[in-house]
């Protein structure tokens, strides 16, 4: 199986166009709305926040994904989350979808919505509709249009996040293979602790795949990608991840969990993992990416729980920011994670680009070369691993360090 990275994002697959505009929702002088439109109706799959307080656009999209199972456009805004807005928020969703559907000549029920920003305020419907009209007139299938869309949905993000891949699948006409494309964009920097999926993420593909299999693939992949990152332990009210497959690549339809499905899953995993890791790396105020790999665990679920506990620990995060090898904190975070283990049997390592350092084994923190540790902790990506010596399951979690800037950004977010 060969999944090749290629330039671009959501407009890389055939038949997808994007646009963005400065609608003045909250920010001035920057784009804050984005739209993705497919030339053909798409099979759609989605995963959504498990927060009991779900934003209005999340409830709207759940309806589209679970009932209609087909969609053709996505309209997203940054600045206001349209969460905790009651019936008014739901009305605004309906009117936005109605307007976008009429403007694009597609059913309102095939328009997906996404909002991110402050919880509480109502969206200005007039500006949203003006934005939809503007974007409908400037849709483009260039890679630049996809990139511009990925920038328009940013809030406290410092970089836009998009990835694209291509892979070969058997052709529909039975002779040889065709190239299938997949691209994605996401935003997310704070309130990141996905539980089902994270923040806003949109993946497009020209692959022809059965809708139920598309959802199956997405649901299988999210627990090891988006759900394995954390910035601050706060699971958002707006988390939404959507995949749209318009079938325009010309591949033989994927209708079973066969080899083509496996290749498709590998591609989707690659896009989801790369977007997720980039979100962790761009966590609010972050100066380091933090990675924790737990291996030889007894169960997959325990491996995930242990790995997430370490990257979520405030004390581990602050230690990485301070480049201070106070590695007992990793032990502490493994210990309170929940899964049972024998502290005398595990081994914990710190990994740099070139160096590896064992700082815990046989039940004791080991003496280690402080200078070497400082060198590793000075790298942009700080990686830890733990050998549980209990079985053959593994998981990796990603996070970032806790910095003064995280406090600054979140102590004064609304201003």
Binding interface with its own copies (CB under 8 A): 49-54, 81, 83-88, 118-121, 190-191, 193, 195, 232-237, 312-315, 318-319, 321-322, 324, 326-329, 331-337, 339-341, 343-344, 360, 362-365, 402-404, 406-415
Q: How far is the CB of 396 from its own copies (least distance, A)?
A: 21
What's the closest the beta carbon of residue 173 comes to its own copies, in angstroms?
A: 49
Q: Which of 11, 198, 237, 305 is catalytic?
A: 198
**Residue 300 host element (H or E):** helix 300-312
Give buried/exposed letters for 5-38 (b at 16+ CB in 10 A, else e).
Answer: eeebbbbbbbbbbbbbbebbbbbeeebbbbbbbb
Closer to its own copies by CB, 236 or 246: give it.
236
User: Which residues does 237 contact at the CB level (< 8 Å), separation at least 6?
Assistant: 49, 51, 53, 54, 55, 58, 81, 83, 84, 119
Q: For residues 73 and 347, what is the distance between their CA atoms, to the nearest angstrom? A: 49
Q: Which residue's structure tokens are 């070369």? A: 369
Count CB atoms within 10 A of the CB of residue 345.
14
Given the complex with its own copies, which of 266 and 301 has the nearer CB atom? 301
Whole-number Å distance between alpha carbons of 261 and 159: 32
36 or 319, CB closer to its own copies? 319
Nearest alpha-carbon partner for 393 in 305, 329, 265, 287: 305
The contacts of residue 267 (CB under 8 Å, 6+ apart) are: 3, 165, 167, 180, 182, 205
CB of 66 to its own copies, least distance (A): 19
The distance of closest approach from Cβ of residue 7 to its own copies in the complex, given in angstroms and rounded to an integer, is 35
Nearest to its own copies of 140, 410 (CB atom) = 410
Dihedral (C-alpha) 228, 231, 235, 237: value to the nearest 10 degrees?
Answer: -120
Closer to its own copies by CB, 54 or 151: give it: 54
Nearest residue to 241 (alpha-carbon basis) of 202, 209, 268, 270: 202
Q: Match 């997405």 to its residue by tokens.
A: 218
* Residue 134 bears catalytic tag: no
Q: Which is nearer to its own copies, 90 or 139 (CB)?
A: 90
Least Å distance, CB 298 to its own copies, is 13
Provide the annotated active-site residues. 198
């Amino acid at each position: 199986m060969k999944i090749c990275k290629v330039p671009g994002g959501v407009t890389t697959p055939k038949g997808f166009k994007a646009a963005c505009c400065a609608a003045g929702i909250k920010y001035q002088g920057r784009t804050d709305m984005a739209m993705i439109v497919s030339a053909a109706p798409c099979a759609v799959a989605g995963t959504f926040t498990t927060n009991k307080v779900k934003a209005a656009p999340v409830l709207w999209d759940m309806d589209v994904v679970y009932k209609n199972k087909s969609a053709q456009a996505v309209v997203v805004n940054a600045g206001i989350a349209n969460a905790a807005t009651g019936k008014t928020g739901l009305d605004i969703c309906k009117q936005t979808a109605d307007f976008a559907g009429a403007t694009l000549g597609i059913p309102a029920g095939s328009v997906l919505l996404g909002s991110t920003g402050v919880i509480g305020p109502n969206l200005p419907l007039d500006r949203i509709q003006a934005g939809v009209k503007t974007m409908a007139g400037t849709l483009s299938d260039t890679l630049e249009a996809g990139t511009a869309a990925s920038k328009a949905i940013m809030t406290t993000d410092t970089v836009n996040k998009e990835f694209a891949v291509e892979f070969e699948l058997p052709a529909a006409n039975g002779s040889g293979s065709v190239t299938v494309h997949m691209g994605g964009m996401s935003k997310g920097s704070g309130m990141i602790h996905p539980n089902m999926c994270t923040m806003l993420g949109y993946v497009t593909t020209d692959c022809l795949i059965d809708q139920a299999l598309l959802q199956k693939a997405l649901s299988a992949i999210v627990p090891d990608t988006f759900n394995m990152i954390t910035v601050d332990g706060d699971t958002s009210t707006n988390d939404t991840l959507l995949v749209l497959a318009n079938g325009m690549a010309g591949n033989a339809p994927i209708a079973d969990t066969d080899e083509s499905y496996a290749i498709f899953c590998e591609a989707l995993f690659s896009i989801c993992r790369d977007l997720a890791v980039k979100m962790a790396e761009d966590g609010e105020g972050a100066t380091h990416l933090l990675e924790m790999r737990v291996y030889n665990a007894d169960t997959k679920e325990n491996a995930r729980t242990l790995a997430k506990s370490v990257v979520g620990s405030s004390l581990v995060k602050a230690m990485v920011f301070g480049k201070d090898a106070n590695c007992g904190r990793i032990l502490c975070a493994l210990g309170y994670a929940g899964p049972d283990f024998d502290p005398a049997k595990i081994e914990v390592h710190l990994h740099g680009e070139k160096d590896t350092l064992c700082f815990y084994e046989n039940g004791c923190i080991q003496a280690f070369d402080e200078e070497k540790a400082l060198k590793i902790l000075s790298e942009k990506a700080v990686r830890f691993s733990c050998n549980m010596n209990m079985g053959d399951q593994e998981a990796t979690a990603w996070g970032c360090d806790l910095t003064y800037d995280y406090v600054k950004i979140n102590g004064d977010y609304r201003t």
